[in-house]
Structure 1
Amino acid sequence: MPAERHQRPKRHSSGGGNDRAGSSSKTASGHKKPLPLEKRSADGIPGLSKLKGSIRQTKRLLAKDNLEPSLRVQTQRRLAALEADLATAQKRDVERKNGAKYHAVKFFERQKLTRVIKRAQRKLGGEKKLSGKKLAKAEAELADARVMLNYVLHFPNTQKYISLFPSDAKDKAKDGGDDDDDEGFKLPPLLSQSADGLDESARKRREMLLETQRLMGEGKLSATPEEEGAGAARRDVDIAPKAVVAAAAEEEKEASDAEDDFFEG
């Protein structure tokens, strides 16, 4: 009998140990721990899914008729804070996605514009002095190329990038290469074109180019962006006019509301 008493605890201990091992395995595999998307980011704000879930729960609590006044005030404050965090998290998420999506197109356009600037500088600084129309043309080309380069460097990642040379950028992206021979390339008249007859994307691009040109004239953007390069710190300047920013924000809000309706429905 004593032997049996001694064996039974062993069997019980073994079974309990297996249960604990299984529980530990579940924890390690992520079943009980928050998923990676739920972790707080470097700025201390949770992920989108967790924020949206918290907002839905908070709204359900506020919908209760018997909620105490003091608790209702606290919950309303919590909702306001959560919605502010959600706006920040959505902006961060859009910037990350757009930054990765349009990296190649921006790279090709930046390289092309840098070479156009160097070409114009060679013409203006060459031994053979330009005059008249040729001088004015080279100066205009240099000025336009610098505006366009600032456009590429400072285009906000909160918006879908509107290419300066759509067909050319697509061809380069497909080839996976970069053509060093841009001597015959001519800048499109994007700054001087009329807004009449332009589609929505072309109109937005024109507005942002003109805004970039204005900011350069005020000294808020570099007059020689080719000297700063892509590695330079971005200036805290938004080249998107308020109307363009408002339209983009409205599109993002509609998409977010549609997603929330889907989960709540």
Structure 2
Amino acid sequence: MAPVRPSQNDGRSIAQPSSGSSTPSGKDKPSTKRKPTGKPYARKDATNQTPNVVPGVQKIKAALRQTRRLLAKEKLGADVRVATERKQKALEADLVEAERVRKERTLAQRYHKVKFFERQKVTRKLSKIKRQLEESTEKKERKKLEKVLLELRVDLNYIMHYPKLKKYISLFPPEVRRQQPEEEDDGSSEKESRKQTIEETDAQREEIRKMVRGRMESGELSLEPELEDQSARAAKRATDDSIGRSSEAAAGTKGKKGTVVAEKDEFFGEDSGEDEDGDEDMGDS
């Protein structure tokens, strides 16, 4: 038997620390598995969405295809088939809602600028007529101004409460779509077709204005939409200022107190940077 070489620590053995023992510094040995940090996340369903959010159109269509493939199987339990059919009906309803939301978003983005300029124009005209009405003393003139004021308020409600699922028809069509005197005598098919299109568009515009006027008379819409618009914008600015101040405080940024970049409104956007003569006629597309 070969001789055993003596230990260099004078016979003292070094104890190996066990998994539950402490390190020589007195601290616990760090575990190899770390617990997840941060806020708990909401459990998502089969369409990878939170419970209260309508999933996207493509995800719903994918889930519908998977559900229909499952129902196409012959050997499928009765309870599984019933549950799958219920899921299919729910997915079909979600698909209709998702397509409606997507269309609303698309139209809102497309006509955002047109509505913004037209609201600015109508609001300025409203302020001008109201000042003239305050200064006027003649009964006949006041009656005429009141009639113009009512029509402008109808126009403002037209812009603010236009049906979300319809293409927006501009209140102020551009010059290129207005008939010129020399074009009226031209009997070409192109000019006749253009004239017919303009007449149809005017008829649709007046139909929607008539609907808005009826809702105003019934009390469904405000009789003074300019006040509603101002209060909504003031509330939005206050909210944006509050969010901006809290964000600056959290990030430790330096700058003017209360100076924030407001988020764009879904329909109307920002109201800064527009002068009296800077508006232009926008057409329906």
Common topology (TM > 0.5)? yes
- Cα offset, 1:124, TM superposition: 1.6
1:104 aligns with 2:113: yes
- Asked whether 1:165 is paired with 2:178, we answer no
Question: Residue 146 of structure 1 aligns to which amino acid in structure 2?
Answer: R
State the match for 1:224 in structure 2: 224
Partner of 2:208: 208
Partner in structure 2 of residue 72 of structure 1: 81
Q: How many residues align?
A: 169
Shift of 1:41: 6.7
Distance in structure 1 (CA, Å) of the matches to 2:80 and 2:197? 56
Indicate how the Cα distance of structure 1 residues 42 and 119 shifts in structure 2: closer, same or farther if over 3 A, else same: farther
Q: Deviation per CA, 1:145-180: give whole Å up to 9, x if none.
A: 001101111123333211111217x9xxxxxxxxxx
Partner of residue 60, structure 1: 69
| C-alpha RMSD of the superposition | 3.0
- CA distance in 1 between counterparts of 2:61 and 2:202 reads 35
In the alignment, does 2:89 pair up with 1:89?
A: no
What TM-score do the two structures reach when normalised by structure 1?
Answer: 0.56
SS in 2 for 1:232: helix
**TM-score normalized by structure 2?**
0.52
SS of 2:163's equivalent? coil
State the Cα distance separating 1:213 from its structure 2 match: 0.8
**Which has more helix, going by share of residues?**
1
Q: Distance in 2 between matches of 1:119 and 1:60?
A: 64
Partners in 1 of 2:102 and 2:65 — Cα distance?
A: 20
Structure-2 residue corresponding to 1:116: 125
- 8 Å CA contact 1:58, 1:75 repeated in 2: yes
What is the Cα deviation at residue 109 of structure 1? 0.6
Give the percent of matched residue pairs that are identical in Structure 1 and Structure 2: 40
Partner of 1:152: 159
Measured against aligned partners, the alpha-carbon deviations of 1:173-192 in whole angstroms (never above 9, x if no partner) come to xxxxxxxxxxxxxxxxxxxx
The alpha-carbon distance between structure 1 residues 112 and 222, as it changes in their structure 2 partners (threshold 3 A), is: same
- Structure 1 residue ranges without an equivalent (≥5): 1-37, 171-195, 234-265
Which one-letter code corresponds to 2:219 in the other structure?
Answer: G
Whole-angstrom distance in 1 between the partners of 2:220 and 2:118 = 22
Deviation at 1:229, TM superposition (A): 1.3
Shift in Å, 1:223: 0.6
Shift of 1:65: 4.4
- Superimposed CA distance per residue, residues 33-73 of structure 1 (whole angstroms, 9 cap, x where no aligned partner): xxxxx753794222111101111222233344444433322
Q: 1:69 to 1:201 in 2, by over 3 A?
A: farther
Structure-2 change in CA distance of 1:44 and 1:161 (3 Å) = same
Label 1:88 to 1:148 Cα distance change in 2 as closer, same or farther (>3 A): same
Query: Residue deviations 1:219-258, cap 9 Å, x none?
Result: 111111111216629xxxxxxxxxxxxxxxxxxxxxxxxx
Which amino acid is 1:223 matched to? L
How many Å separate the matches in 2 of 1:60 and 1:230?
A: 53
Q: Larger relative CO (CA 8 A, sep 6+): 1 or 2?
A: 2
